[in-house]
Amino acid sequence: MEKVKSKIIGIGVLIILSVLSVLIFMPVSALTVRLPREDHRLVGAARVSPGDTLDLSYRHSVERTRVVGRFTIGPDQTLLATETRMTSVGTGLPNCEPDRTHREGEWIIVDEGNQEIPGIRFYYTTVNQTRLSVSGQPLNFDTIRNGNLLLIDVENPRLIQWSRWLFAGKMWSLR
């Protein structure tokens, strides 16, 4: 009887350790905001899944028009350019391709065709009122210094790395 109990406990411990190992090393998908000029310091992250949307909005510095870049998380955890919205066209704004452009109210919308992009590099300045949201939830830019270059991308840290970031602010390295 004692031998059977020991075997059951041993199997239980083995199952628990196996489950914990899988959970600890399981990758998660995260939209990240890093600062390339500061050793790729991680300043923001949000869990994402395929189909989630990312909106990067700002006021164009020359034309003073509102611009929203809309992206989708692809099935293989990549960024897909979905559309660009703007309230007018002009210097430095995306070219409007007539066959891919339409109007909805005040917005001129360019269909970007879900093209895969390797990340977004964006010059951050408070004057442009930059905002970033993931599926409608804003990411906080309060800790980002004005005039910094942002790198916005999808990364796959391990669950243990994500947990350390979430609860202790410990970033994982960029591979």
pLDDT score at 59: 87
Q: Is the pLDDT of residue 12 over 90?
A: no
pLDDT score at 74: 94
List the chain domain ranges: 27-168
Sheet holding 41-47: strands in order across?
41-47, 30-35, 149-155, 120-123
User: Highest mean pLDDT: which of 9-23, 38-52, 98-112?
Assistant: 38-52
pTM: 0.82
pLDDT score at 166: 87
What DSSP string runs through the chain?
A: -HHHHHHHHHHHHHHHHHHHHHHHH-B--EEEEEEGGGTTEEEEEEE--TT-EEEEEEE-TTT--EEEEEEEE-TTS-EEEEEEEESS--TTSPP--GGGEEEETTEEEEEEEEEEES-EEEE--GGGT-EEEETTEEPP-TTSPTT-EEEEEEE--BHHHHHHHHHH--PPPP-
Q: Is the pLDDT of residue 121 over 70?
A: yes
Q: What is the pLDDT of residues 62-109, one digit of tens each?
A: 667 888 999 999 998 899 999 999 887 766 566 667 788 888 999 989
Whether residue 117 contacts residue 85, with contact meaning beta carbons closer than 8 Å, is answered with: no
pLDDT score at 41: 92
Q: Which amino acid type is present at position 165?
A: W
Greater confidence (7 vs 150) lies with 150
